[in-house]
């Protein structure tokens, strides 16, 4: 009897605590939907999907909306002026990224506890440690460093073109080819591994991708792990068992991690094995004085502008450890494989439905080849219309639609809104990109000229969020643009891409909506007609 009574009292107290917890956003003056005491607003997100939910909420509550991702209070901010404060001018108050699914375990010093491959990369690192690693990595993505990696990318694109040629007159899904291309590029640049991923269906990189990108927004583990983070040990164990069960008792990610560790050790011990790739740049990267680093130094660029980071002061030189290099190599696999292949896929979807735009790019490419010869980093950056097409595709279908997020580091007064320390701020990129207040009444139309040099100046600096903004934007933005431009330019120089019997209509593309990213669920089917 006493046991039942104690359990009942415990449940009542827990529910009262939960109810109080789920009232915190309203107490901060932030409107939003009513949360469920067990799962916050996750059930609604799952039963519909985040795109539909965010659209409904923004329409009902305005451009600042509070909701609960499981037990985590989140504030959606679609107001570009507020975002300029959060992402840029008041960045020091929003320096870290939140983890909405599982907590990052920390030691007594506040540093991330070691989880090989995942705990020391730029997304999860915080405060001074993040600034240190970001300061070291950012210079590896300058224009001069990208020029060194263009030949490696072109080697992988050669394999892509060979596989397209093999299709002959048959229709095929080019999205799958793009995925294998971007895996190949990451393998060659970030891991220093020569893969056969574009031809071998059992390649280690493909097996890893199936593990790392299997999550769906309807995954029950996501629902429970975000709602009850104190039971993280249980959800982690379940996830590992699931992976091993699907891979004959082996975790392919562990195999990849060991392979990278071997390559790093080989590079460290043998100067003759040096290559002009991203892995070598991380091994060689160093910085002297963290105090000289500014927010501008940390912000990644998407053009040819060079930016040096803090001048040498004679203080202790900081370099990346092997653990830092390993974890950030894994991060680049997570980021570069999925986002760039999906961006290429969506851009191709528009090009096969807008043959005039495709032909305009082709003429631009052919003129460039006639005047400059081979395509490389410097030359493809002169393809202005191709750049406009890629930007417009990223606007309409941002591959990462809800990854741009920040954590409030201290209580912040944003005028009408008062944000408490620990609250997550999330940027609804998809909805900002389709906001008629920012882009005009024709917001849903594919119009690359929005990003022409003369029109680009009129765009609010926070309106385009495919790579985030401010010092914590995507450090590999330049890398991604170069890969996408090289691949599309070289394909269109050789082939005319046309619709096939399996091609989805322009507005009828079926989306797979994962927790953070959008993908074309049925692929991008087409035919490639040789020129």
Residue stretches of the annotated binding site for heme: 474
Dihedral sign, Cα of residue 383, residue 387, residue 388, residue 393: positive
CA distance 378 to 306: 13
Contact predicate 364/383, CB 8 Å = yes
Q: What are residue 520's DSSP bridge partners?
A: 511
Which tokens in the block code for residue 438? 């920012």
Per-residue exposure over 391-412, b if at least 16 CB sit within 10 Å of its own CB, e if not: bbbbbbbbbbbbbbbbbbbeeb
CA distance 327 to 122: 9
Residue 298 parent element (H or E): helix 295-298
Residue with token string 């790392």: 212
Provide the annotated binding site. Answer: 474
Which tokens in the block code for residue 461? 């600096």
Rg (CA), the chain: 24
CA distance 47 to 521: 18
Contact predicate 280/152, CB 8 Å = no
Q: What are residue 249's DSSP bridge partners?
A: none
Which tokens in the block code for residue 531? 């020129």
- Backbone φ/ψ region at 503: left (φ over 0), alpha (ψ -120 to 50), beta: beta
Contact predicate 41/35, CB 8 Å = yes
**Helices then strands, each counted (H, E), the chain:** 23, 13
Angle at 512 between CA 257 and CA 350, to 5 degrees: 105
Dihedral sign, Cα of residue 287, residue 292, residue 297, residue 298: positive
Per-residue exposure over 342-366, b if at least 16 CB sit within 10 Å of its own CB, e if not: bbbbbbbbbbbbeeebbebbbebbe
Contacts of 425 (CB under 8 A, 6+ apart): 74, 75, 77, 86, 94, 405, 406, 407, 408, 419
CA distance 422 to 400: 23
Extract the runs of DSSP E, i.e. beta strands, from 199-238.
none
Contact predicate 101/225, CB 8 Å = yes
């Amino acid at each position: 009897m006493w046991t039942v009574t104690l359990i009942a009292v415990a449940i009542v107290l827990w529910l009262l605590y939960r109810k109080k917890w789920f009232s915190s956003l309203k107490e901060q003056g932030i409107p939003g939907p009513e949360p469920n005491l067990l799962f916050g607003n996750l059930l609604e997100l799952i039963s519909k999907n985040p795109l539909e939910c965010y659209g409904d909420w923004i329409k009902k509550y305005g451009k600042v909306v509070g909701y609960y991702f499981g037990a985590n209070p989140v504030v959606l901010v679609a107001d570009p002026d507020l975002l300029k404060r959060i992402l840029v001018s008041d960045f020091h108050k929003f320096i870290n990224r939140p983890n909405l699914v599982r907590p990052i375990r920390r030691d007594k010093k506040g540093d991330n506890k070691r989880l090989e491959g995942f705990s020391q990369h730029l997304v999860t690192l915080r405060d001074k440690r993040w600034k240190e690693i970001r300061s070291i990595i950012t210079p590896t993505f300058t224009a001069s460093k990208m020029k060194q990696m263009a030949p490696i990318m072109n080697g992988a694109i050669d394999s892509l073109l060979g596989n397209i040629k093999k299709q002959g007159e048959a229709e095929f899904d080019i999205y799958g080819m793009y995925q294998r291309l971007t895996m190949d590029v990451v393998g060659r640049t970030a891991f220093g591994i020569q893969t056969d991923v574009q031809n071998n269906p059992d390649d280690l990189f493909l097996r890893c991708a199936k593990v790392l990108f299997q999550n769906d927004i309807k995954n029950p583990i996501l629902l429970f792990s975000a709602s009850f983070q104190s039971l993280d040990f249980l959800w982690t164990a379940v996830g590992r068992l699931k992976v091993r069960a699907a891979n004959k008792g082996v975790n392919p990610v562990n195999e990849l991690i060991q392979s990278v560790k071997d390559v790093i050790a080989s590079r460290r011990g043998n100067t003759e094995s040096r290559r002009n790739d991203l892995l070598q740049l991380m091994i060689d990267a160093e910085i002297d004085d963290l105090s000289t680093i500014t927010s501008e130094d940390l912000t990644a660029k998407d053009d040819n502008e060079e930016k040096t980071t803090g001048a040498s002061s004679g203080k202790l030189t900081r370099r990346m450890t092997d653990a830092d290099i390993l974890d950030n190599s894994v991060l680049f696999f997570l980021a570069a494989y999925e986002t760039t292949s999906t961006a290429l896929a969506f851009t191709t979807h528009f090009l096969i439905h807008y043959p005039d735009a495709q032909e305009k790019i082709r003429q631009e490419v052919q003129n460039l080849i006639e005047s400059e010869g081979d395509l490389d980093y410097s030359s493809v950056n002169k393809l202005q219309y191709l750049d406009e097409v890629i930007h417009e595709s990223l606007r309409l279908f941002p591959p990462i639609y809800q990854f741009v997020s920040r954590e409030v580091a201290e209580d912040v007064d944003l005028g009408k809104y008062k944000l408490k320390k620990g609250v997550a701020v999330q940027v609804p990129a998809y909805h900002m990109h389709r906001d008629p207040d920012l882009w005009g009444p024709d917001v849903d139309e594919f119009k690359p000229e929005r990003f022409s040099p003369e029109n680009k100046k009129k765009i609010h600096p926070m309106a385009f969020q495919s790579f985030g903004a401010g010092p914590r934007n995507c450090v590999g933005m330049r890398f991604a643009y170069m890969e996408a431009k090289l691949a599309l330019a070289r394909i269109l120089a050789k082939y005319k891409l046309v619709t096939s019997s399996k091609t989805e209509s322009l507005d009828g593309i079926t989306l797979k909506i994962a927790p953070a990213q959008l993908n074309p669920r049925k692929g991008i089917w087409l035919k490639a007609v040789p020129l």
